[in-house]
């Protein structure tokens, strides 16, 4: 396809989680005629979640897939065009008011005056078949999201960094007992976070310990642990297993094109969603390595649409 025949989009949204759909709602209401490409996982991480109890406006809670369908319908109601497809390559213009090009599914190129990146981040898992089978049945990568369901129960958490330490102490406040598995003979967490863990009475800290098997058919019923120094195995009864070994932002196609931190999260200007490229904005977990909640992702999606609208207005006035 020759360049003069490329489809021109005023606001292109890449990703379909809470950030992407919220950006679409605001952008379509601002008459930016947004086009949203869903990516490989339409609806994002929330489609792998059962009950969502901490998103405002749902007093009885809602399951993740239903919530994402409702967000999509709301975006479409105002004119967003939702397309199945994955952006596989980008060619950003570095000029203010420049036109950006993206390739979808390695075949089709389109042009965009503004782009909102909402590709999210993927939680890292251990890769055990039993762990994958029980995701959503007691295995979770977000203690803040799902910890409430295990109130007064025995749970376990895997990880030795600051996030794992923070989530372990969070769980200790609501759960009966928290067994914390650290693969090495020391934690990677800061001294302050280590102190919080070691001084919390109902956290059972196990060094040199890994998950050997997650037990249970439909839901988590127990955990078989392996001491990687002695080879000794031990089984404990738990109802929830939380994996806190990190997230990987879905930013591979933007490497070398957008400014990122050492972990691959897109860096945005303070109190905005602006990236180092004019007309390109980032929202949601792709630029948030701290909160990683649906509600904060939605908030930055709103910000990105407002930033895009203002950018287009300013460019037009120049």
Instruction: List the catalytic residues.
Output: 142, 145-146
Rounded Cα gap, residues 55 and 294, in angstroms: 7
Rounded Cα gap, residues 137 and 131, in angstroms: 10
| DSSP category for residue 283 | -
* 3-class DSSP assignment, residue 199: coil
**Cβ atoms of residues 228 and 209 within 8 Å:** yes
Q: What angle is formed at CA 165 by the lines to CA 295 and CA 289, rounded to 5 degrees? A: 40
Main-chain dihedrals φ then ψ at residue 37, nearest 5 degrees: -100, 130
Rounded Cα gap, residues 271 and 262, in angstroms: 21
Beta strands in the chain (DSSP E): 7-14, 35-37, 51-52, 62-63, 81-83, 87-91, 100-104, 108-117, 121-123, 139-140, 154-158, 177-181, 203-206, 209-215, 222-227, 233-237, 240-243, 247-249, 280-282
Report DSSP letters for 219-278, one per residue.
Answer: S--EEEEEETTT--EEEEE-SEEEE-S-EEES-GGGTTTS-B-TTSPBP--TTS-B-SST
Rounded Cα gap, residues 277 and 273, in angstroms: 11
**Cβ atoms of residues 58 and 145 within 8 Å:** no
Helix, strand, coil proportions of the chain in percent (round to 5)?
30, 30, 40
């Amino acid at each position: 396809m020759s360049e003069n025949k490329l489809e021109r989009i005023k606001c292109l949204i890449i990703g379909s989680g809470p950030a992407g759909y919220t950006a679409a709602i605001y952008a379509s209401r601002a008459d930016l005629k947004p086009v949203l490409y869903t990516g490989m996982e339409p609806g994002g991480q929330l489609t792998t979640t059962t009950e969502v109890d901490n998103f405002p406006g749902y007093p009885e809670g809602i399951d993740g897939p239903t919530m994402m369908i409702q967000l999509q319908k709301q975006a479409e109601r105002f004119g967003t065009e939702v397309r199945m497809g994955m952006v596989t390559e980008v060619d950003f213009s570095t000029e203010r008011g420049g036109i950006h090009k993206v390739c979808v599914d390695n075949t089709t190129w389109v042009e965009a005056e503004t782009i909102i990146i909402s590709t999210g981040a993927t939680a890292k898992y251990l890769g055990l078949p039993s762990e994958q089978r029980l995701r959503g049945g007691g295995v979770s990568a977000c203690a803040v999201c799902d910890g409430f369901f295990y109130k007064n129960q025995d749970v376990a958490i895997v990880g030795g960094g600051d996030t794992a330490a923070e989530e372990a102490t969070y769980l200790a406040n609501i759960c009966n007992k928290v067994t914390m598995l650290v693969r090495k003979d020391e934690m990677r967490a800061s001294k302050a976070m280590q102190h919080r863990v070691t001084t919390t009475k109902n956290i059972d800290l196990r060094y040199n310990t890994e998950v050997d098997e997650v037990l249970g058919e439909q839901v988590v019923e127990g955990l078989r642990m392996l001491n990687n120094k002695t080879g000794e195995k031990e089984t404990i009864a738990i109802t929830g297993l939380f994996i806190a070994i990190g997230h990987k932002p879905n930013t591979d196609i933007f490497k070398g094109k957008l400014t990122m931190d050492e972990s691959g999260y897109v860096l945005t200007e303070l109190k905005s969603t602006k990236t180092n490229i004019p007309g390109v904005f980032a929202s949601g977990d792709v630029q948030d390595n701290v909160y990683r909640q649906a509600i904060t992702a939605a908030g930055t999606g709103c910000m990105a649409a407002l930033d895009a609208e203002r950018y287009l207005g300013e460019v037009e006035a120049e």
